[in-house]
């Protein structure tokens, strides 16, 4: 157990300690640690409305195929985006939109042929593309174009 894990939830540095532990677990690919630290962070009421932690939670769920929980967390993160420092708004909103698009796409793939889910995925990727295009991020726009091309091809075959 590291020193950061000894910081108690009543300590003003608790959230910071858990955020550092979370980043380390994410970097190492430690799924159990990532989940544990996200849960610990969310124990504090003020963190339950923090769009950075909510987006991290949403990414955790989308990476594990729990698309409903991922959408729930990412929608909540989007709802509270105004709490972000101005220098994080663009990147976190891009992350939130990407998670939402991937979640809808995952839900569609799991469904087989639910056209409503497919349309939600397409709209979400278009929203993501519009957002990342506002800062001329060609690499991120290309990612959206790739996903949109796949989904459009599927839509044309299903109709």
Does residue 77 sit in the same domain as residue 31? no
Per the structure, the complete domain to which residue 85 belongs is given by 67-159
What is the mean predicted confidence (pLDDT) over 10-36? 95
Cα–Cα distance for residue pair 150/37, rounded to 1 Å: 35
Cα–Cα distance for residue pair 101/7, rounded to 1 Å: 36
pTM of the model: 0.91
Chain segment 43-93, per-residue pLDDT in tens = 999 999 999 999 999 999 999 999 999 999 999 999 999 999 999 999 999
Does residue 35 sit in the same domain as residue 75? no
Question: Reduced to 3 states, what is the DSSP secondary structure of residue 7?
Answer: coil
- pLDDT band for 113, please (50, 70, 90 cuts): confident
User: Residues with Cβ < 8 Å from 158, sequence gap 6 or more?
Assistant: 113, 115, 118
Does residue 86 sit in the same domain as residue 158? yes
Does residue 39 sit in the same domain as residue 71? no
Looking at the domain assignment, is residue 43 inside a domain? yes
Q: Which of 105, 156, 158 is nearest to 128 (CA)?
A: 105
Alpha-carbon torsion (83, 88, 91, 92), positive or negative: negative
The H-or-E segment that residue 70 falls in is helix 67-79
Does residue 107 sit in the same domain as residue 153? yes
Cα–Cα distance for residue pair 51/75, rounded to 1 Å: 10
Q: Write the DSSP symbol of residue 8.
A: -
Residue 123: predicted pLDDT = 98
Does residue 112 sit in the same domain as residue 141? yes
Q: Write the DSSP symbol of residue 136.
A: T
CB 62 within 8 A of CB 99: yes
Looking at the domain assignment, is residue 60 inside a domain? no
Does residue 29 sit in the same domain as residue 97? no
Does residue 31 sit in the same domain as residue 78? no
Judged on CB neighbours under 10 Å (0-12, 13-18, 19+), 35 is middle
Looking at the domain assignment, is residue 2 inside a domain? no
């Amino acid at each position: 157990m590291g020193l950061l894990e000894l910081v108690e939830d009543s300590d003003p540095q608790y959230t910071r300690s858990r955020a550092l532990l979370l980043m380390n677990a994410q970097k190492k690919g430690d799924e159990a640690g990532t989940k544990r630290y996200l849960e610990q962070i969310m124990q504090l009421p003020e963190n339950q409305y923090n769009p950075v932690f909510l987006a991290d939670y949403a990414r955790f769920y989308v990476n594990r195929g729990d698309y409903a929980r991922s959408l729930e967390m990412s929608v909540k993160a989007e709802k509270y985006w105004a709490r972000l420092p101005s220098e994080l708004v663009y990147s976190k909103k891009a992350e939130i939109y990407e998670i939402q698009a991937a979640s809808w796409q995952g839900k569609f793939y799991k469904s087989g042929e639910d056209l409503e889910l497919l349309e939600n995925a397409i709209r979400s990727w278009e929203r993501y593309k519009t957002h990342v295009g506002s800062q001329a991020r060609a690499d991120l726009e290309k990612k959206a174009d790739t996903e949109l091309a796949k989904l459009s091809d599927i839509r044309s075959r299903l109709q």
